[in-house]
Structure 1
Amino acid sequence: MEEHFDIVVVGAGLSGITAAYRVQSMLPTKTFVVLEAREQIGGTWDIFKYPGIRSDSDLTTYGFPWAPWTLERQIASGPEISSYIRDTVRKSGLDDKIRLSHRVLSADWCSQDKRWKLTISTGRTTVLIYANFVMWGSGYYDQWEGLNPIIPGIERFEGVVAHPQFWPEDLDYSGKHVVVIGSGATAVTLLPAMSKDAAHVTMLQRSPSYILTIPEIASEDRVLRKYLPSWMSSRLIRWKYLLLPRLTMELCKYFPGIIRSGMRKLTTALLPAHIPHNPHFEPRYNMGEQRICLAPGGDFFRCLHTPKANIVTDTIKTVTANGIELESGNRIAADIIITATGLKIQLFGGADVKVDGQPIKISEKYAWNGTMLQDVPNASLLIGYTSTSWTLGADVMAQLIIKLMGVMESRGARAITPRLDPEIDIKPAMLLDISATYIKVAVGSTPMAGDKGPWKRRAGYYEDCWKLMFGDLTKELVFE
């Protein structure tokens, strides 16, 4: 069985659903379908099931722009976000456009036919779908395999080893000694969540992250919702959450010393007497260079005041049958080890992508405006922001690509391909703007950004919106 669509959207998480809605509303005459590899929609929020899972962005900007988040708590739990996504899909009329258990195995572009051939596994059979344009909203990490760094001696451990991405449904940690390896948002979430039932939980980090306490419910949001109509309060609250993170990042950029000093004072005031600020909360980088971990209501720091939670900054020497030996000579007993060590980066949902039979080497390509790949026609990667709300970035890129389709149609073209001018002396840079370890490990799996023109790394939401409204979308593009 073969089908043809004007547009195929890959992925039914936040990025894919955002793209599908924009196609439906901005290109009503186009045929499209959404292909989701999993049995449920939701992407990240269907995959991760670890204790306490929650967003690390406010839901006003992390949610869909056309479906305002209405709950008071901005940092929402995984089940709340999953429910919100399902409700939005239903209300937006996208249900019948989504095909579950449709994993794209390969995507082959034919220049003669000016279309993509997608080979798709449904679990029972393989089907072919042809598309004029493919919008990849499948995220930037491997859904089927986590990042598993080398941990010496881990094979000798006689307890349970679990990765947050593949949380065992039957894992009973009540009364157990747990070690969470990592210092990112996942580890910061797991420590207070698991310490409620475990005998003891230790967060073992090689280097610290910045952890910022925020209120569970912002008082100003509550006042706005109480005294203003919903249409007005939702807009004002959205502008607040659009402006504050950008202001914070700019302050971090221009006043790193002041910000570091301020964070040191804020954090020290929240710590129990037996846990010093240095080395546990003294990161090697300036605030804003990596994603900031959030602690709603200060839950992370509150649990450190109990005898059931602790933080250790050290390097693993080896794992033993019943614990971890550290380079300092100290030892941590463990019944369960959680490897919260990051994600394995993967683009195109793991599909094999070819142009006229030639495999695309992603790491050798530059990204055009952060969304299309050099020499790859009629395809876009909907990658969100890594330092602020992901959905903002995916949404503005989806709108940019749809606008570009309009330009293509007005010119009577059937294909658009980013081409790098060979005369330009361009210097490569990392595409993603954070220095996290899992990003550095993935350099060979991601495209490059440049230092000139539309190949430059995206600067932020406001700059992308300006580009969308007023930018020249024909630079370094070939229309055919």
Structure 2
Amino acid sequence: MLATPPDFDVLIVGAGISGIGMAAHMEMKAPHHSYAIVERRDNLGGTWDLFRYPGIRSDSDMHTLGFDFEPWRHEKSIADAPAILEYLNRIVDERDIRRHIRYGHKVISADFRDDEARWHVEIELKDGSRTHITANFLYLGSGYYDYDEPYDPGFDFGEFEGQVIHPQFWPENLDYEGRKVVVVGSGATAVTIVPSMAEKAAKVTMLQRTPTWMFSRPAKDGIANFLRKVLPEKLAYKITRKKNIWMQDYAFKTARDKPEKVKDTLWKKIEKALGPGFDKDTFSPPYNPWEQRLCLVPDADLFEAMKAGKAEVVTGHIERFEKGGVRLTSGEFLEADIIITATGLKLAVAGKIAVSLNGEPVNFHERFYYKGCMFSNLPNLAVVFGYLNASWTLRADINSDFVCRVLNHMRATGTDLATPVLTPEAEAAIVEDDVFDFSSGYIQRGKHIMPRNSIEYPWRLNQEYVVDRKRMAEDPVDDGILTFTRAGANAQSADEQLEAAE
């Protein structure tokens, strides 16, 4: 046994969906382990509290973006940020999680020391002072993008005298009523902002360099709402969740196997919303559906705004920003009082925390994912990077459950180090795979910092939830790769474990 225990068994970084989900799973499945959640901001919710732009909402249905253990009760399954925050706040209150959250705690660095079996975590407080927390296990629910700095495409706004706003840093009480707005970008953020701002603005133009595949669906799930009326709440949620998981999986696989068929389906839905005279080129990307994430248009709100003349979509390249608007290379001039740069996010690994192992910096791009949850030869660390082709929370749930199984196995065996061991010989035999088979700009820009990926389990971040869920729940924790050892006199370091495995 170690001379002194760490401050916590588990330190959870981030009080968003991932962190709250881990805490809830621990309360249910690993209740004898102590934990704390550190959150750099003053509120919980992560993305759903940070972003304040008009209309912010989920682009996944809440029966899969919600947790497996907590039914979604709202009538709308495509939910806005306030409804999502209400859901998260109810969970932390009903499950006694709130008292474990420490706000204004920004994690700067985390060093794992084998001989102590604990993370030494340095934290910056709001007043600039530093504090120190130790934990046996570190769970990173810190998201996937840079909270401090969005992607900057390098625009020179030249003579433009109006307001320029990035959605990640939306100003309070922005007055855009009766004003002309140009939203640069064609992703989920732009598709959300345009119809919402169009309600008050004189006109909103979405300026896209290339089109994006869009699909419209009702914000309310009729089947889900019917089931909630006739069945117990948890059963209705379980059935709806299973239905939607199957539909997500089917839609993705169909898009990959029969892209032309899916294109025709998407165009027909747009034609139904806009009428037979719609400009097909505006909605015809140069890639197949689901090579990038599809943009959801709930209740056809973008198309309705276009039909009403309150919004338009223009395809073109920016030549320069001028007084009063944007000049395109085609010569077309788009008038603007406000320019919104919905140009995307910057990927970040491990919340930009300086992670080290026995004082040596950890370069995640040199390590392989282990079951999409841990990393090769790095003890007692788990992360969440959600699905690109399904809801984020699906992975958050299975990773949380898996880590609880790991924690319980450690307690049952009296071990305090859990390390996915990858020997040099085994690593040399791995056939690598593209970590992300997606062409989205933010994905391509960030791939150089991402961990490595194998074509086969377990050294893989997979994109097939149905397979992952079964394997994460049913495969033995002690699989001969994830090794469990003790710290102290009889312990093996990660290097010694490698030598023993060779």
TM-score (norm 1): 0.95
Q: Give the count of matched residue pairs.
A: 477
Partner residue in 1 for 2:238: 235
**1:243-286: CA deviations, max 9, x gaps?**
111111121122112111222222223225664111x1001221
Secondary structure, in 3 states, of the residue corresponding to 1:61? helix
Q: Which residue of 2 aligns with 1:18?
A: 21
Task: Give how far 1:322 is off.
Answer: 2.5
Query: Which amino acid is the alignment partner of residue 477 of structure 1?
Result: L
* Mean Cα deviation higher: 440-449 or 125-134: 440-449
2:153 aligned to 146, 149, 165, which one?
A: 149
Residue 158 (structure 1) aligns with: 161
* Separation of aligned partners in 2, 1:284 and 1:338: 24
Give the C-alpha shift of residue 308 in structure 1. 1.9
- Choose 205-214 or 422-431, whichever is displaced more: 422-431
CA distance in 2, matches of 1:401, 1:232: 26
Partner residue, 2:283 = 281
Q: For the residues of structure 2 that align with 1:350 and 1:437, how far apart are their CA atoms?
A: 20
Partner of 2:250: 247
Q: Give CA-to-partner distance per residue, 1:10-36, whole Å, 9 cap, x none.
A: 110000000011112111111111111
Instruction: Report SS of the residue matched to 2:189.
Output: helix
Matching residue of 1:54: 57
Structure 1 residue aligned with 2:493: none
CA deviation profile, 1:386-431 (whole Å, cap 9, x unmatched): 2211111111011112212333444443212223332233243343
Contact between 1:212 and 1:293, CA under 8 Å: does it hold in 2? Answer: yes
Alignment of 1:168-183 (within 5 A): 168-183=171-186
- 1:139·1:382 contact (CA, 8 Å) conserved in 2? yes
Amino acid at match of 1:353: V
Distance in 2, matches of 1:17 and 1:309, equals 38
Partner amino acid for 2:266? Answer: M
SS of the residue corresponding to residue 303 of structure 1 reads: helix
1:476 maps to 2:481: yes
- Secondary structure of the 1:99 match is strand
Residue 96 in structure 1 maps to residue 99 in structure 2: yes
Matched, 1:444 2:448: yes
The CA deviation at 1:225 is 2.3
Q: Is the 8 A contact 2:167 2:341 kept in 1?
A: yes
- Quote how far apart the aligned CAs of 1:336 are: 0.9
SS in 1 for 2:7: strand
3-state DSSP of counterpart to 1:202? strand
Q: Choose from 83, 99, 105 the match for 1:80.
A: 83
Structure 2 unpaired stretches of 5+: 486-502
Q: Which runs of 5+ in 1 are unaligned?
A: none
1:341 Cα offset (Å)? 1.3
Greater mean deviation of Cα atoms: 13-22 or 291-300: 291-300
Instruction: Measure, in 1, the Cα distance between the counterparts of 2:456 and 2:299.
Output: 43
Q: Residues 354-393 of structure 1 correspond to what in structure 2 (within 5 A)? A: 354-393=356-395
Counterparts in 2 of 1:367 and 1:37: CA distance versus 1, 3 Å: same
Give the structure-2-normalised TM-score.
0.91
- Please give the per-residue CA displacement for 1:171-198, whole angstroms capped at 9, x wherever unaligned: 2111111111111111111111011111
Q: Describe how 1:456-471 pairs up with structure 2 within 5 A.
A: 456-471=460-475
Q: Would the aligned equivalents of 2:388 and 2:463 in 1 still touch at CA under 8 Å? A: no
Give the alignment partner of residue 140 of structure 1, picking from 137, 140, 144: 144
Between the aligned partners of 2:318 and 2:430, the Cα distance in structure 1 is: 41
CA distance in 1, matches of 2:301, 2:330: 29
Correspondence 1:213-224 to 2 at 5 A: 213-224=216-227
Distance 1:227 1:472, change over 3 A: closer
**C-alpha contact 2:389 2:463 (8 A) present in aligned 1:** no
Partner of 1:352: 354
- Which letter maps to 2:96? G
- Where do residues 194-205 of structure 1 align in structure 2 (5 Å cutoff)? 194-205=197-208
Q: 1:318·1:324 contact (CA, 8 Å) conserved in 2?
A: yes
SS in 2 for 1:189: helix
2:134: which partner in 1? 130
Tell me, yes or no, if the aligned pair for 2:6 and 2:136 is still in contact at 8 Å. Answer: no
Contact 2:146 2:346 in 1 (8 A): yes
Which sits farther off after the overlay, 264-273 or 88-97?
A: 264-273
- After superposition, the Cα gap between the structure-2 partners of 1:327 and 1:372, relative to the gap in structure 1 and judged at 3 Å, is same
Identity rate, percent: 37
